[in-house]
């Protein structure tokens, strides 16, 4: 039995390293593992999400919800037409207009949870992320709209929803495009003054939030830091650099983090 020189390094990464070989090919075990990972990635993209457990969990956190959908007619069309995933359906647009009229006062923050390209990532991480994030919301006194649960959503769907609800900022939690070692990642996108047509350069992104990726505590800390700075400076995107690591690492940081 030959000792595997890669065994120690494999403990620190999900990447495929030190696969070995059987003759001129990969070992059968690794071929099967690759096929399984590929199938899990496909399932993450194509499987419909069950919003019921997420609704119940958010309700337990004291957060009302509202289901909406993009203009994509079904999952197949959503994958073929990314533009439709960035626009609200007519029914959802009308529902948000009614909700805006009922709410009255404009929210500081609109939170939209979208299935995106990984229903698995949303199902696995949303409640844990929101549980870690809510103490920051309470401490900061931010007014929230009902949490929007969006079918067949792209990131930019939050721009239209946030504009209709009059939010100062929109926070989009969405399933990230799966990799062959990470089919369950959650991405978080923050946009100040959301409106239709805003550019991706005007939003901030925190990616790979999951149990084997960026932790919920660190992900929500970064989110809260960026939000506070967004409200203070009136912007997000390339002009808002994430300097929260200075606080996380206990290092002296620039004046902007105080």
Q: How far apart are CA 77 and CA 86, in angstroms?
A: 13
Instruction: Pull the structure tokens for residue 180.
Output: 């062959």
- Mind listing the pLDDT tens digit for each residue in 122-167? 999 999 999 999 999 999 999 999 999 999 999 999 999 999 999 9
- Mind listing the pLDDT tens digit for each residue in 207-254? 999 998 999 999 999 999 999 999 999 999 999 999 887 665 555 444
Task: Please state the domain count of the chain.
Answer: 1
Q: Are 151 and 112 in contact (CB under 8 A)?
A: no
28 lies in some domain: no
12 lies in some domain: no
Q: How far apart are CA 102 and CA 145, in angstroms?
A: 11
Which structural domain, as residue segments, surrounds residue 142?
Answer: 46-257
215 lies in some domain: yes
- Mind listing the pLDDT tens digit for each residue in 13-61? 878 888 887 888 888 888 888 888 889 888 888 889 999 999 999 999 9
118 lies in some domain: yes
CATH of the domain at 127: 3.40.50.11240
247 lies in some domain: yes
15 lies in some domain: no
21 lies in some domain: no
117 lies in some domain: yes
Q: Are 145 and 109 in contact (CB under 8 A)?
A: yes
Single pTM value for the model: 0.87
Task: Give CA torsion, residues 196, 70, 200, 141, to 10 deg.
Answer: 80
């Amino acid at each position: 039995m030959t000792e595997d020189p890669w065994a120690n390094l494999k403990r620190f990464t999900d990447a495929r390293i030190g696969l070995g070989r059987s003759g001129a090919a990969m070992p059968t075990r690794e071929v099967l593992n690759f096929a399984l990972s590929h199938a899990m990635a496909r399932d993450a993209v194509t499987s419909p999400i069950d919003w019921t457990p997420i609704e119940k969990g958010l309700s337990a956190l004291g957060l009302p919800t509202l289901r909406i959908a993009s203009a994509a007619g079904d999952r197949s069309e959503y994958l073929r037409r990314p533009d439709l995933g960035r626009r609200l359906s007519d029914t959802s647009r009308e529902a948000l207009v009614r909700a805006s009229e009922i709410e009255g006062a404009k929210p500081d923050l609109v939170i939209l949870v979208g299935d995106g390209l990984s229903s698995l990532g949303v199902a696995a991480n949303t409640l844990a992320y929101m549980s870690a994030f809510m103490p920051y919301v309470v401490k900061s006194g931010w007014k929230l709209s009902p949490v929007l649960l969006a079918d067949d959503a792209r990131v930019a769907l939050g721009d239209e929803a946030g504009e209709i609800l009059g939010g100062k900022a929109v926070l989009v939690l969405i399933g990230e495009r799966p990799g062959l070692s990470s089919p369950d990642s959650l991405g978080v996108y923050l946009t100040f003054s959301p409106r239709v047509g805003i550019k991706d350069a005007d939003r901030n992104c925190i990616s790979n939030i999951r149990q084997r990726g960026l932790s919920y505590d660190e992900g929500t800390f970064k989110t809260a830091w960026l939000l506070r700075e967004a409200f203070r400076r009136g912007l997000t995107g390339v002009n808002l650099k994430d300097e929260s690591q200075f606080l996380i690492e206990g290092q002296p940081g620039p004046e902007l983090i105080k």
